[in-house]
């Protein structure tokens, strides 16, 4: 009998994480796996809004909308597990995405981390950092970084 594995699949709202999930399902998944889909939400609208500094009610409304968006996305992730017939759960935690992925994976005694790669160019990756680079260099367990074959150009 094959032992179960704890697998963390880090997902965001990009097609890159969907590609990573599909790759995992097609090439790596074992029926005994216990999967945690981990989502680290980012609050883009609040940061990008010019009204943030002037009106507290606007900020409150924006935050409520962001919370609705995040809840809907988490519900969709739960449905993704259910549709695939995978044992596991969805977890959401705030913070720096790379640090959260490594910490949660360690705390869960995961045997594998799966995540997508956005394929940022060298300059952008240097300036902004890359979640996949961070996880790859700081994780004590194996990391599977899935690139979308059609989306990567040199």
Q: List domains and CATH numbers for the chain.
A: 6-151 (3.40.50.620)
pLDDT exceeds cutoff 50 at 134 = yes
Positive or negative torsion for Cα 142, 143, 147, 153: negative
- Written as six digits, the tokens of 2 are 């094959």
Q: Which helix (H) or strand (E) holds 6?
A: strand 6-11
Positive or negative torsion for Cα 62, 67, 73, 76: negative
Count Cβ atoms within 10 A of the Cβ of residue 121 and give its class: 0-12 exposed, 13-18 middle, 19 or more buried.
Answer: exposed
Percent of the chain beyond pLDDT 90? 58
Cα–Cα dist 31/37, whole Å: 16
pLDDT exceeds cutoff 90 at 108 = yes
- The pLDDT score that the predictor gives to residue 49 is 53
pLDDT band at 150 (very low <50, low <70, confident <90, very high): low
The tens digit of pLDDT for each residue in 123-133 reads 544 444 588 88
Other CB atoms within 10 Å distance of the CB of residue 40: 20
Query: At which residue do the structure tokens 């996949």 appear?
Result: 132
pLDDT band at 119 (very low <50, low <70, confident <90, very high): low
- What pTM was estimated for this model as a whole? 0.82
Query: At which residue do the structure tokens 């790859």 appear?
Result: 136
């Amino acid at each position: 009998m094959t032992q179960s594995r704890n697998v963390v699949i880090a997902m965001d709202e990009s097609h890159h994480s969907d590609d990573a999930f599909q790759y995992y399902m097609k090439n790596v998944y074992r029926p005994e796996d216990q999967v945690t889909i981990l989502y680290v939400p980012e609050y883009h609208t609040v940061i990008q809004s010019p009204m943030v500094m002037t009106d507290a009610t606007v900020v409150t409304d924006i935050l409520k909308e962001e919370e609705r968006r995040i809840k809907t996305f988490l519900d969709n992730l739960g449905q993704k597990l259910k549709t695939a017939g995978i044992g596991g759960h969805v977890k959401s935690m705030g913070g720096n995405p790379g640090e959260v992925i490594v910490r949660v994976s360690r705390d869960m005694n995961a045997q594998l981390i799966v995540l997508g790669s956005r394929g940022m160019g060298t300059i952008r990756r240097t300036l902004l950092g890359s979640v996949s680079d961070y996880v790859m260099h700081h994780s004590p367990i194996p990391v599977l970084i899935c690139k979308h074959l059609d989306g990567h150009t040199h």
